[in-house]
Amino acid sequence: MSNTNKSSGVHLVRVDSDRAGQRLDNFLSARLKGVPKSAVYRMIRTGQVRINGGRCKPASRLEAGDEVRVPPARTRETEEYVVSESVCRQIEEALVFEDRDMLVLNKPSGMAVHSGSGLPWGLIDAVRQIRPGQFIELVHRLDRETSGCLVLACSGAALSHLSTQFRDGHVDKRYLCLLNGLLPEPAVEVDMPLRKIESGADSRVEVCADGKPALTRFQLLQAYRDCCYVEVRLFTGRTHQIRAHARHIGLPLAGDERYAGKESAKKWKKRGLGRIFLHAHRMELETPSGKRLSLDAPLPAALRKVLDGLEE
């Protein structure tokens, strides 16, 4: 397949009501088809992108009527990628909840929510292919290896409402994970600021005094010989928050090569764990209609099998 390049000039885009509440990086990615996510972030970081004339961040939320400065960008004009039928079936089978305002999926591990970094498609592309012509936007994110509850909005108003719920800490988020080692007590709370440390392709998040506030609670569910199964509650929503706080207390997640190291990941692979043991199993939030909704995504069979093979 041949690719052609096209350069467009600076233009100003006014945000309509359907896009109110959307993250700036997602808004730009939808407009700049073919531009790598890394390039979008670079445009924002260097001040080329402005909201109402002011500097902004990738996570800045847009409001109806905002004027976004979109800089020149070289895009690849390619045929639209078609997600396979088997993946679309997998997504449809992962549906946990649906109404006119939102979709909730039990995201499979190994599936990125966005395209980019060499990936021609992401989960959001598959959902849009299944629901052609329908407004579909991610409300939040999960790492590629993480499975579990993922919320998508079906209208601009729903996106604004749900995004505010997440941003203001009104969503009760619970995860299941397996820690290397044993918690010193049944419940451990970690209230330590986090900051992303850039180190080439191997960037990660670490506890830093000048980082953003982050609060995580680890609750013991089952202790084993050399590890423990815990439920984690997030009170903030920082990137890699659970993984970074677990490493900080000396109990990195099982299968987490980035924060536990390659040797640890190899050890767990021999024990049948081929991914990071992290699953978003429960979420409680207020829907756009004003109802309090509880959502559950069962632990994947592959992770349950690992637990069944552990020694107490």
Q: Which residues are catalytic?
A: 143
Distance CA 56, CA 184 (A): 42
Distance CA 103, CA 153 (A): 6
Produce one character per residue of 16-53: b if its CB has 16 or more CB atoms within 10 Å, e if not. Answer: eeebbbbbbbbbbbebbebbebebbeebbeeeebbbee
3-state secondary structure of 220: strand
Residue 94 DSSP label: T
- Please list, in sequence order, all residues whose beta carbon lies within 8 angstroms of the beta carbon of residue 290, skipping any fewer than 6 positions away: none
Of residues 77, 101, 109, 91, the one with CA closest to residue 156: 101
Cα dihedral across residues 31, 35, 37, 39: positive or negative: negative
Point out which residues pair with 68 in neighbouring strands.
13, 51
For residues 121 and 111, is the Cβ–Cβ distance under 8 A? no
- Please list, in sequence order, all residues whose beta carbon lies within 8 angstroms of the beta carbon of residue 299, skipping any fewer than 6 positions away: 176, 279, 281
